[in-house]
Amino acid sequence: MAWYGDPDASYAYSGVDHEPLPWTEELLHVRNDMQNLSGHVFNSVMLNLYRNGRDSMGCHADNETELGHNPVIASVSLGETRLIRFRHNKSRKKFELELKDGDVLIMGGEIQHHWRHELPKTAKEKSVRINLTFRQIIVRAI
Ligand SMILES: O=C(O)CCC(=O)C(=O)O
Ligand SMILES: [Mn+2]
């Protein structure tokens, strides 16, 4: 896991404040594409590396205060195809999407209020996948 962004886009997760690493040229290039595609601006990106089918992400909502009320998150998948599963908080209804190399998933509106999502482990043979989630951190005036 790695966190890149504007110097003031710090983010608390797992109870710890994380200072972003400075943007690289490549990440700025992808950010530009995601801003054009979504019509939203992003001041940071979280990178996750899944080495194989045993690497996973637990069920969560991206609902941290820093993201604001109805955050827009642009998620870019690179490498191996993996499944993302959404679960509705009340009905427990679920749906799954296959995220393939080059896919972009945009989460917006009230999705983080009503649904949680996870990247489950799989027993299938899986190679490396990298996911980039572009986010807009709301910078607090101190
Ligand atoms: O790897 C993915 O596609 C999901 C990552 C994710 O949900 C997150 O970083 O919050
Ligand atoms: Mn997420």
86-128 confidence digits (pLDDT tens): 999 999 999 999 999 999 999 999 999 999 999 999 999 999 9
Q: Which residues is 47 bridged to in the sheet?
A: 2, 132
Distance between CA 138 and CA 142 in Å, rounded?
12
Whether pLDDT at 142 is above 70: no
- Other Cβ atoms within 10 Å of 136 Cβ, number: 20
Amino acid at 26: E
Q: Which residues is 12 bridged to in the sheet?
A: 17
Substitution site in 119, 129, 135, 137 for ligand 1 pocket (most atoms within 8 Å of beta carbon)? 119
Structure tokens given for 4: 């890149």
27-74 per-position pLDDT tens digit = 999 999 999 999 999 999 999 999 999 999 999 999 998 999 999 999
Q: What is the C-alpha radius of gyration for the chain, rounded to an integer number of angstroms? A: 15
- Other Cβ atoms within 10 Å of 107 Cβ, number: 18
6 lines ligand 1 (CB under 6 A): no
Distance between CA 119 and CA 121 in Å, rounded?
7
The H-or-E segment that residue 32 falls in is helix 25-38
Contacts of residue 65, defined as CB under 8 A and 6 or more positions apart, other chains included, come to: none
What integer pLDDT is reported at residue 74 of this predicted model? 98
Whether pLDDT at 14 is above 90: no
Portion of the chain with pLDDT greater than 70, in percent: 96
Please state the pTM of the whole predicted model: 0.95
Question: Which domains does the chain carry?
Answer: 2-135 (2.60.120.590)
Ligand that comes closest to the CA of residue 134: 1
47 lines ligand 1 (CB under 6 A): no
CB 90 within 8 A of CB 116: no
